[in-house]
C-alpha cells in the first residue's frame, strides 16, 4: 500500500524512504488530498498556500495509516565512478 502512496504522491523527492509495514496485501486505488507545500517547502513561496492538510495528517486522517520515523538497514546502489562511453 505504501508503494502506491509513494508513487502517487511523487515522494521520490523526500529524504527518507517509506516502508510498508501494514501487513495488508494487494493493491489499492484511493484519492489523497494534501497540501503540496508540505512536501516541497522550498517551492512553497511560489505556490498558493492551501487549506488542505499536511501530508502526514492526510495519510492518518484519510487512510487511517500512521507514518513512524525509524532507523533500519537499507540496500543502496553506490556508483563510485563513471567514465566516458566507448563505442563498440
pLDDT tens for 4-50 read 454 444 444 556 777 888 888 988 888 888 887 656 555 545 555 66
* Distances, alpha carbon 19 to alpha carbons 23, 34, 39, in Å: 11, 20, 17
Residue 74 counted as domain residue: no
- Within a domain: residue 82? no
Task: Tell me if 40 sits within 8 A of 54, measured CB to CB.
Answer: no
Question: C-alpha grid cell for residue 36?
Answer: 503540496
Residue 1 has pLDDT above 90, yes or no: no
In a domain, 45, yes or no: yes
Number of domains in the chain: 1
CA–CA gap between residue 41 and residue 76 (Å, rounded): 26
Range(s) of the domain holding residue 32: 2-63
Does the residue 87 lie in any domain?
no
Residue 29 lies inside a defined structural domain of this protein: yes
Amino acid at each position: 500500500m505504501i508503494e502506491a502512496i509513494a508513487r502517487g504522491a511523487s515522494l521520490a523527492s523526500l529524504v527518507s524512504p517509506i516502508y510498508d509495514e501494514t501487513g495488508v496485501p494487494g493493491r489499492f486505488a484511493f484519492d489523497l488530498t494534501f497540501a503540496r507545500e508540505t512536501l516541497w517547502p522550498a517551492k512553497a513561496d511560489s505556490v498558493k498556500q492551501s487549506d488542505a492538510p499536511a501530508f502526514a495528517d492526510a495519510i492518518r486522517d484519510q487512510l487511517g495509516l500512521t507514518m513512524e520515523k525509524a532507523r533500519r538497514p537499507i540496500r543502496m546502489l553506490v556508483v563510485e565512478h563513471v567514465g566516458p562511453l566507448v563505442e563498440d
